[in-house]
Structure 1
Amino acid sequence: MEPIWLSIKLAIITTIFLLFIGIPIAYWLSRKQSIFKLIIEAFITMPLVLPPSVLGFYLLLAFSPNNAFGIWLHRHFDLQLVFSFKGLILASVIYSLPFMVSPIKAAFAHLPGSMSEASYVMGKSKIQTFFYVLLPNIKPSVFTAAVLTFAHTLGEFGVVLMIGGNIPGETKVASIAIYDAVETMDYSSANSYALILFAITFVIVIGVFVLNRNAVKSPFE
């Protein structure tokens, strides 16, 4: 079951990274719009519609030790991203970014402006307002975004295959293991991996539904 644990590890690390960078990005995008922000949001959203193999191919070119960026990473940080777990993390962060940013951005955008204004009137700074007023009011959306990011990363295939290849114990995640098992007609192993991923994803989806249902419940129910 090593590929399953590797997938879970990748999903957890990616989700944590994206919580730290996705929330500030979502807040920034939810403020007053501009052409520059529109372009940035378009790049962030592209993984939703771009074939994973296309994104994986360009990331593979960018991270390749034969290209300028890959050479720079290896020379200055002794870092090789191609066919490594670190590369999977970075690729997953890029690929799953819209799943974190989009729900949180929408939640920030729907908060009334009077909420921030009232906080400023009470003497709170912008940082205090963000952490103690705005963020607590979008907790269900943050949770939903985190869960969607985790589930999406858990089932990645195209990007993972392009960047990480198929190295047991290093980059062979569950989706790759399923593909390998089917190719060798080992349907029993493929079914085991698929069933576990199905069960995990089902529990995640039910959890999101329950949380959202509780979040919109009337206090008088």
Structure 2
Amino acid sequence: MTSQPTTQSPVEPSSEVATYKEVLRLIDRRQAQLDHYRQIAESYLTNASGDTEISTANGDPALSCNGPLTFTTTFLGIPIEGEIIRSNKDEQKPIEEFAPLMQAVLDDPTVQAFGWQQCTPYFNDGDECIFSAGSLWIRTDADPAPEAGDEWDWRRNHLVGNHHPTLGERPRVWDSVTRVHTQLSYTGPDEDRYDRCLALSNAISSGYSDNVLLDAFGDHAEITITRDGITVDTYDHE
């Protein structure tokens, strides 16, 4: 008797795939802030002597959302479109320190658009869920615009501080013996422009501007900024 071939049902994609994609999103969002904290720690370790202790003053402030959806019309004179979720928090660095950093990037004629994400996670593996902002991306006039449906991957490849294709980079090399990163020389078309963009990235991801960013754009937000205006979209995350 001839056996009949068996037919296998199509294999459904594992639900873990979506989970790991979201993990990558969260890692990208936090990387800039973690890099900033690493620089702070390395600076203390390099300069510390005797029983010098690292201050905990550089830790993230705990912020929580307690207000309904509201609407803000402008930020630094630029119109905003979108719903704003207000939060209650301790004051940090004032807007007067953040504004010139953002304006310096806006005034660069080669910068076409930039933006970042900010949110309080809904879940943090049992730890406190703390607001943070980061993952500043920038599009210059030398960058092609992202294709429809490819915005997330495009922004991931245009983060300030990583190897940005048109801004350049200032790479760091890890020394496994001293366990310290060594900063290498800048490579790219314009170091002054890179430094202006990096200063804004550090201001966003350091945690010291959370007061300003939450007041202006709210929680769970994706911000996109051009010379024509600011758009706030809801940031979908865990």
TM-score grouping bracket, smaller chain normalisation: under 0.3
Q: TM-score, normalised by structure 2?
A: 0.24
TM-score (norm 1): 0.25
> Greater helix percent: which structure?
1
Q: Greater relative contact order: 1 or 2 (C-alpha under 8 angstroms, separation 6 or more)? A: 1
